Amino acid sequence: MTQMTNQNPEAGEVAPLIAKLAGYLEQDIGTARALPMEMYTSKALLDAEREHVLKREWLCVGRLEQVEAPGDYFTVELLGEPVVVVRDREGVLRAMSAVCRHRYYSVVEGAGNAKVFSCPYHKWGYGLDGCLRGAPHMDAVEELRKRGQSDRLPQLPLETWLGFIFVNLDPDAEPLLPRLADAEPHWSALGVEEWRVSPWVDEEWPGNWKLAMETALEGYHVNGLHPETFASFMPSRGTAFEATSEQWTLFRMETVFKGEFEVYRPFADRLTGKDQTTVPQFGFFPNCAVSCTQFNAIWLTFLPIDVDRTRVIGGNLVHPDLYKALEADAALRDSNAASIDRVNSEDASAMVGLQRNAASAHAEPGLLCEMERCLLYFYRYLAQRLEDGVRGA
């Protein structure tokens, strides 16, 4: 642990919290306890997480199906940065800042297909590669004429993996794919790269982003929070840790096909070995989770708005056969969307409980169990990244 100096106020306030996180490097299940409440309420810690972790890490922002054709684009706000992801005319997939090079307006919002991006404020025009193509009534401005098309929307690192699109706000980011290669064998049997989203998710949860991530990292809560949606199909007792790395963590849950879930058995029967009876639940550090069954996978990315507010983007990926059925049947599509909404609301409800009790004098961190093992790895990851970040600041 580095000695923090008093000259850096951020380090001074955050250092004790990082030291507590670093304690998880030494602990194991049996003695490890939940994070202290202040980890979910400290604005200084959230600032450090934003600057030293989230703004330097790969953030899962979308799926390839959103940008299949040249001109297809979507926008996303990442930690206060407006970003556009676009497939340009040459077919190159790009991520870039959407902030106009003139006076800060967003050159594009929402999603669609475009030939150029025309800033709504004064109509500066940008090619799909981000280069400035035109600036009305600016001919007399010598400096702009000289810079010409070299004036460009800043490009951001982008990588794709199994149909997911990841963007990094750090232009010098290390590549992502080498860090995920060892995760692929654990779920390649499912064929998730072919699955399509129905429905998309974009909502706000009333709690800290780490708590949202934690909910996705353990199956212990299934019987408690999801008694009717998941508990009979994927009960807590079927949770088992499988593997972890610096970048990801994985546990599996048993699936039980009975009652209303009987119709999904054929999706499991197509698989072999343990994939027939168990399903992988991935956490991608720092803020993304993909919770699979044999026929769907709920992908969620957690973006902090404040210590007690989190924007959740993602979607429910479904097997192509199921996607076809949903496309053909509006009632089925609606009920599928309603059940995804219900499950997410159940997870979001965990946050209400924590925020309600945040000021309690009796909010003591309790012991963790083996089913919560992945939380340990999450805390260790955060400790390491925050230590490195604050040390380098």
* Tokens 């490009």, located at residue: 155
Q: Which does 179 bind (CB under 5 to 8 A by kind): ligand FES, Fe ion, none?
A: none
CB-nearer residue toward ligand FES: 103 or 342 = 103
Tell me how far apart the alpha carbons of residues 232 and 363 are, in angstroms, rounded to a whole number.
31
Q: How far is CA 285 from CA 41, 56, 300, in A?
A: 20, 12, 12
Give the three-class secondary structure for 222: helix
Contact footprint for Fe ion (CB under 5 A): 347
What is the C-alpha to C-alpha distance for residues 333 and 336, in angstroms, rounded to an integer? 5
99 is a site residue for ligand FES (CB under 6 A): no
Cis preceding-peptide flag for 199 (omega within 30 of 0): yes
Distance CA 145, CA 385 (A): 43
Which does residue 347 bind out of Fe ion, ligand FES, none, counting CB within 5 to 8 angstroms by kind? Fe ion
* Residue 103 is a binding residue for ligand FES (CB under 6 A): yes
Residue with tokens 């699936």: 255
State the binding partner of 147 from ligand FES, Fe ion, none, CB within 5 to 8 A by kind: none
Least gap, CB of 124 to ligand FES (angstroms) = 4
CB 236, min distance to Fe ion, A: 10
205 versus 264: smaller Cβ distance to Fe ion: 205
Q: In this complex, which beta carbon is closest to ligand FES, that of residue 84 or of residue 250? A: 84
**Residue 75 CB, nearest approach to ligand FES (Å):** 15
User: Which lies closer to ligand FES via its Cβ, residue 20 or residue 102?
Assistant: 102
Question: SS in 3 state form for 259-326?
Answer: HHHHHHHHHHHCCCHHHHCEEEEEEECCCEEEEECCCEEEEEEEEEEECCEEEEEEEEEECHHHHHHH
Residue nearest to Fe ion (CB): 347
Give the number of other CB atoms < 10 A from CB of residue 359. 9
Shortest distance, CB of residue 117 to ligand FES, whole angstroms? 10
Minimum CB–partner distance for residue 60 and Fe ion (Å): 18
Among 20, 102, 309, 333, binds ligand FES (CB under 6 A): 102
Spatial separation of the C-alpha atoms in residues 10 and 361, rounded to whole Å: 26
Q: Is 122 a binder of ligand FES (CB under 6 A)? A: yes
CA-to-CA distance for 26 and 31, rounded, in angstroms?
10
* Residue 90 DSSP one-character state: T
Question: Considering the complex, what minimum distance in angstroms separates the CB of residue 92 from ligand FES?
Answer: 24
Is residue 100 involved in binding ligand FES (CB under 6 A)?
A: yes
Among the listed ranges 13-21, 119-127, 193-201, 228-236, the one in contact with ligand FES (CB under 6 A) is 119-127
Q: How far is the CB of 225 from Fe ion (least distance, A)?
A: 6
Which of 210, 209, 298 shows the shortest CA–CA distance to 253?
A: 298
Intra-chain end-to-end CA distance of the chain, in Å = 15
What, of ligand FES, Fe ion, none, does residue 270 touch, CB below 5 to 8 Å by kind? Answer: none
Q: Which partner in ligand FES, Fe ion, none is near 122 (CB below 5 to 8 A by kind)? A: ligand FES
Distance CA 314, CA 290 (A): 9
**Residue 124, interface with ligand FES (CB under 6 A)?**
yes
Minimum distance of Fe ion from residue 215's CB (angstroms): 5
Binding residues for ligand FES, rule: CB under 6 A, are 100, 102-103, 105, 119, 121-124
